[in-house]
Structure 1
Amino acid sequence: MAQPQAHGAAWQDRAERVQRSLDEYFGTDRPQLFDNWHPLGPGENDTFNYWWLAHALDARIDAYERTGEAGWLKQAVEIHDNLVARNEGLLFNDYFDDMLWFALATLRLAEATGDPVYAEEAEQLWRHVHELGANDEAGGGIAWRKEQLYYKNTPSNGSFVILGARLHRRTGEKRYRDEAEKVLRWLEQALVRPDGFVQDGVNRLGDGAIDTEWKYTYNQGLYIGACVEMAELTGDRTLIDKALRTERAAYAELAEGDVLLDRGDGGDEGLFQGIMHRYAGLLVEACDRLGAHEEAAAVQGRITAATEALWHGALADEERLLAGPDWRVPVPPDGHVPYSAQLSAIMATEVCARLTSRTDALSGH
Structure 2
Amino acid sequence: MKNLFKAGGVCMLFFLLCVSNLFSQTADQRAENLQNGTNTIFMSADKSYYKHNSASDNDPYGYGYWIQAHTLETLADAYQRTRNSVYKDRMKSIIAGIRKYNSYGAGTYHNDFYDDLEWLCLASFNCYNATKDPEFLDAVHQMWTEIKTGYTNGAMSWKKGCNTPCKNSIANGPAIVIAVKLYQLEGDNSNLQMAKDIHTWMKANVFNAQGGIWDSPTNLDPDWQFSYNSGMFIAACLELNLVTGTQSYIDDGIKACEFMMNYRNYNGGVFFLNENGQGDGGLFKGIFAKWFIEFVRMGNLTQAQKDRYLGVINYTSNYVWAKAVNKTNYLINSYWDSVPTGTIDLSTQSAGLHLFESVASLNKVHAYQNINYGGFYSQLSTGNYTLAQLQARGISDNDITSLTVPAGYVVTVYENDNFGGASKVFTANSAWLADWNDRISSLKIVDTNTSLVNVYQDITYSGYTAGLNVGDYTLAQLRAKGILDNDITSLKITEGYKVTVYDGDNFTGASKDFTATTDWAGDWNDRTTSLRIRPNGTPNLGNITYYLQNRHSGLYMDVWGLSTADGGNIAQGNYTGANNQKFKLIDAGDGAYQIQGINSGKAVDVAGVSVENGANVHQWTYVGAANQQFIAVSTGDGYYKLVAKHSGKLVEVAGFSTVSGGNVQQWENANQASGHWKLIPAGTAKFAKTELTTETETAATAINVYPNPVESTLFFTGEVSGTQVRIFSLTGNSVSEQKIQSDNVNVSGLAAGTYFIVFEKDGAKITKRFIKK
What band does the TM-score fall into relative to the shorter chain?
A: 0.7 to 0.9
Q: Secondary structure at the match of 2:223?
A: coil
Cα deviation per residue 1:273-331 (whole Å; 9 max; x = unaligned)?
111011111111223xx36211111112211111111101111x421321121111111
- The answer (yes or no) to whether the contact 2:49–2:63 under 8 Å persists in 1 is no
SS at match of 1:337: coil
1:112 aligns with one of 96, 111, 130: 130
The residue type paired with residue 135 of structure 1 is T
Counterpart code for 1:47? G
* Cα distance in structure 2, aligned partners of 1:84 and 1:189: 37
Return the offset for 1:9. 7.3
Out of 206, 231, 244, the residue aligned to residue 221 of structure 1 is 231
1:243 aligns with 2:253: yes
Which of 155, 161, 179 aligns to 1:141? It is 155
- 1 CA distance for matches of 2:62 and 2:174? 23
How far apart are 1:209 and its partner, in Å? 4.5
> Which residue of structure 2 aligns with residue 125 of structure 1?
143
Q: CA deviation at 1:92?
A: 1.2
More helix by share: 1
**TM-score with structure 2 length normalisation?**
0.43
- From 138, 141, 162, the equivalent of 2:177 is 162
3-state secondary structure, aligned to 1:201: coil
**CA radius of gyration, larger in:** 2
Give the direction of change, closer, same or farther, for the CA distance of 1:111–1:149 in structure 2 (3 Å limit). farther
Q: Contact conserved, 1:164 with 1:180, CA < 8 A, in 2?
A: yes
Task: Determine helix, strand or coil for the equivalent of 2:158.
Answer: strand
Task: Specify which of 31, 37, 40 is matched with residue 15 of structure 1.
Answer: 31
CA distance in 2, matches of 1:94, 1:111: 26
- 1:34-53 to structure 2, matched below 5 A, reads 34-40=50-56, 47-53=62-68
Distance 2:108 2:60 in 1: 20
Question: Aligned with 2:211: secondary structure?
Answer: coil
User: Which one of the candidate residues 322, 332, 341 is aligned to 1:312?
Assistant: 322
Moved more, 294-303 or 165-174: 294-303
Structure 1: which amino acid aligns with 2:69?
A
Amino acid in structure 2 at the alignment position of 1:143: S
Change (3 A) 1:155 1:291: closer
What TM-score do you get using the length of structure 1 for normalisation? 0.88
1:171 equivalent in structure 2: 186
Larger RCO (CA under 8 A, 6+ residues apart): 1
Q: Deviations over 1:213-255 (max 9, x none)?
A: 3121111100000000000011011211221121121232233
Equivalent in the alignment of 1:3:
none
Determine if contact 1:260/1:306 at 8 Å carries over to the other structure. no
Which of the numbers 259, 274, 281 marks the counterpart of 1:269? Answer: 281
1:80 aligns with 2:95: yes
What does residue range 55-74 of structure 1 map to in structure 2 within 5 Å? 55-74=70-89
Kept in 1: contact 2:113–2:160 (CA 8 A)? yes
Q: Report the 3-state secondary structure (helix = DSSP H, G, I; strand = E; otherwise coil) of the residue aligned with 2:51.
A: coil
Match of 1:324 in 2: 333
Conserved 8 A contact 2:61-2:101? no
| Inter-partner Cα distance in structure 2 for 1:163 and 1:313 | 35
Structure 2 gaps of 5+ residues are 1-21, 365-405, 411-446, 450-773
Residue 38 of structure 1: SS of its match in structure 2? coil
Deviations 1:30-70 (CA, angstroms, capped at 9, x unpaired): 376322112236x8765240001111110000000011111
Aligned to 1:186: 201
Q: Distance in 2 between matches of 1:191 and 1:355?
A: 30
Q: Which has the higher strand share?
A: 2
Aligned to 1:349: 356
Q: Which runs of 5+ in 1 are unaligned?
A: 1-5, 203-207
Match of 2:46 among 26, 30, 34: 30
Moved more, 104-113 or 186-195: 104-113
Structure 1 129/291 Cα, relative in aligned 2: closer, same or farther at 3 Å? closer
Structure 2 Cα separation of the partners of residues 121 and 46 of structure 1: 20
Aligned partners of 2:216 and 2:408: how far apart in 1?
Answer: 40
Query: Which residues of 2 match residues 92-103 of structure 1 at below 5 A?
Result: 92-103=110-121
Match of 2:291 in 1: 279
**Within 2, Cα distance between the matches of 1:45 and 1:309?**
34
Structure 2 match to 1:205 = none
Q: Distance in 1 between matches of 2:25 and 2:275?
A: 33
Quickly say closer, same or farther: Cα 1:118–1:27, change in 2 above 3 A: closer
What amino acid maps onto 2:157 in structure 1? A
Rounded to whole Å, the distance in 2 between the matches of 1:186 and 1:107 is: 25
8 Å contact kept, 1:217–1:262: no
Q: Is the CA contact 2:47–2:93 (under 8 Å) kept in the aligned structure 1?
A: no
Q: Is the 8 A contact 1:56 1:79 kept in 2?
A: no
CA contact (8 A) 1:107 1:118 kept: yes
Aligned-partner Cα distance in 1 for 2:345–2:233: 25
- 2-side partners of 1:304 and 1:236: how far apart? 29
Give the conservation status (yes or no) of the 8 Å contact 1:143–1:149.
Answer: no
**Counterpart residue identity of residue 274, structure 1:** G
Q: Sequence identity, in percent? A: 23
Cα distance in structure 2, aligned partners of 1:327 and 1:336 = 15
Closer, same or farther: CA 236–256 of 1 in aligned 2, 3 Å = same
CA contact (8 A) 1:14 1:349 kept: yes
Contact 2:114 2:147 in 1 (8 A): yes
SS of the residue aligned with 1:273? helix
Amino acid at match of 1:70: S
Deviation at 1:123, TM superposition (A): 2.2
Distance, in Å, in 2 between the alignment partners of 1:267 and 1:241 is: 33
CA contact (8 A) 1:200 1:212 kept: no
Instruction: Name the count of aligned residue pairs.
Output: 344
- Residue identity matched to 2:158: W
2:226 maps to amino acid: Y
Instruction: Describe the superposition over 1:172-213 as per-residue Cα deviations: whole angstroms up to 9, x where unpaired.
Output: 0111101011111101111110121111123xxxxx454443
In structure 2, do the counterparts of structure 1 residues 325 and 251 end up closer, same or farther at CA, with 3 Å as the change threshold? farther
CA distance in 1, matches of 2:60, 2:142: 29
Maintained 8 Å contact 2:49/2:60: no
Q: Which amino acid aligns with 1:275?
A: I
- Asked whether the equivalents of residues 334 and 340 of structure 2 are also in contact (C-alpha less than 8 Å), the reply is no
- How has the CA–CA distance of structure 1 residues 11 and 266 changed in structure 2, closer, same or farther, with 3 Å as cutoff? closer
Residues of 2 paired with 1:319 and 1:239: CA distance? 43
